[in-house]
């Protein structure tokens, strides 16, 4: 979904509050030697601002200006460096930890995914770490993503919304067509969201090819190990920059 409209950025905040996923990522950062942390696809910065502390540089990167505007205005927003863009904004050997949260990895499709992993691997300092989550295609989450027209109250007014989702294509890309209408002024925002599902071995291969060594794969935010036969919808990857990276 596009969050370029400021009101949709507010709705995003409502729909994606702080929770167990943020607790996990904070713990991951806390367990690393991290003078510089980069939150790639930071959205409105709900998690990002909580990572800032004395002696640590936190960078939030997002391609949506409305999201970054809301992030910068958030309490604690002045303690973060906000950058508009993608992984290309990560300078070589500039960060100790990179995070991709909120299914950011699934929004990055095709060759852009491989370029993103390469940018991250180049951007990590020696021994640097990456953590992100993605969805397990064996759980077939897309089957519950068709939403008939509903209406609800939000902090920016009443919102009507609906969505129709197609099964994954040959590349594992699931497409959702959505319609959002703000009732008070009749503004309608229509668009398409595409998410790419990748199975465990495919993600492992992609990470290894980029020079990132998989250390752990979890099936929940409590660090329960994931297996090839797991049907749980979540896969959480922890990786380290490979010592053999070219």
DSSP symbols for 177-236: EEEEEETTTTEEEEEEEEEE---HHHHHHHHHHHTEEEEEEESSTT-PBP-TT---SEEE
29 and 126 in one domain?
A: yes
Is residue 39, in this structure, part of any structural domain at all?
Answer: yes
pLDDT value of residue 6: 86
Dig out the tokens for 178 from the structure.
């959505």
Domain coverage including residue 171: 139-196
Tens place of pLDDT per residue across the chain (246 aa): 566 788 888 999 899 999 999 999 999 999 998 999 999 999 999 999 999 999 999 999 999 999 999 999 999 999 999 999 999 999 999 999 999 999 999 999 999 999 999 999 999 999 999 999 999 999 999 999 999 999 999 999 999 999 999 999 999 999 999 999 999 999 999 999 999 999 999 999 999 999 999 999 999 999 999 988 788 999 999 999 886 554
Q: Are residues 130 and 215 in the same domain?
A: yes
Q: Has residue 67 been placed in a domain?
A: yes
Say whether both 59 and 173 belong to one domain.
no
167 & 116 share domain: no
145 shares a domain with 186: yes
Q: Is residue 88 part of a domain?
A: yes
Residue 1 placed within a domain = no
Q: How many CA atoms lie within 13 A of 175 on its CB side?
A: 7
- Would you tell me how many other CB atoms lie within 10 Å of the CB of residue 32? 17
Q: What Rg, from alpha-carbon coordinates, does the chain have?
A: 18
Number of domains into which the chain is organized: 2
Give the N- to C-terminal CA distance of the chain in Å, as an integer: 36
Is residue 97 domain-shared with residue 64, that is, in the same domain?
yes
DSSP single-letter state for residue 75: T
Q: What CATH number does residue 156 fall under?
A: 2.20.25
Do 102 and 189 reside in the same domain of the chain? Answer: no
* 197, 172 Cβ separation under 8 angstroms: yes
Domain membership of residue 116 (yes or no) is yes
């Amino acid at each position: 979904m596009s969050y370029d409209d400021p009101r949709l950025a507010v709705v995003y905040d409502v729909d994606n509050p702080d929770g167990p996923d943020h607790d996990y990522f904070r713990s991951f950062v806390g367990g690393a030697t991290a003078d510089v942390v980069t939150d790639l696809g930071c959205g409105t910065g709900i998690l990002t601002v909580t990572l800032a502390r004395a002696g640590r540089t936190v960078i939030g990167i997002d391609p949506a200006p409305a999201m970054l505007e809301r992030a910068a205005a958030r309490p604690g927003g002045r303690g973060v460096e906000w950058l508009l863009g993608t992984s290309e904004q990560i300078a070589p050997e500039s960060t100790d930890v990179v995070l991709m949260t909120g299914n950011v990895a699934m929004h990055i499709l095709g060759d852009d995914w491989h370029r993103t992993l390469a940018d991250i691997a180049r951007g990590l300092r020696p021994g640097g770490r990456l953590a992100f989550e993605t969805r397990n295609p064996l759980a077939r989450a897309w089957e519950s993503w068709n939403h008939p027209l509903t209406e609800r109250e939000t902090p920016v007014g009443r919102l009507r919304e609906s969505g129709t989702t197609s099964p994954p294509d040959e590349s594992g890309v699931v497409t959702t067509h959505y319609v959002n209408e703000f009732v008070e002024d009749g503004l309608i925002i229509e668009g398409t969201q595409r998410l790419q599902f990748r199975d465990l071995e495919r993600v492992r291969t992609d990470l290894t090819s980029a020079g990132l060594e998989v250390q752990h794969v979890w099936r929940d935010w409590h660090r329960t190990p994931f297996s090839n036969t797991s049907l749980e919808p979540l896969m959480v990857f922890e990786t380290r920059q490979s010592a053999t990276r070219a």
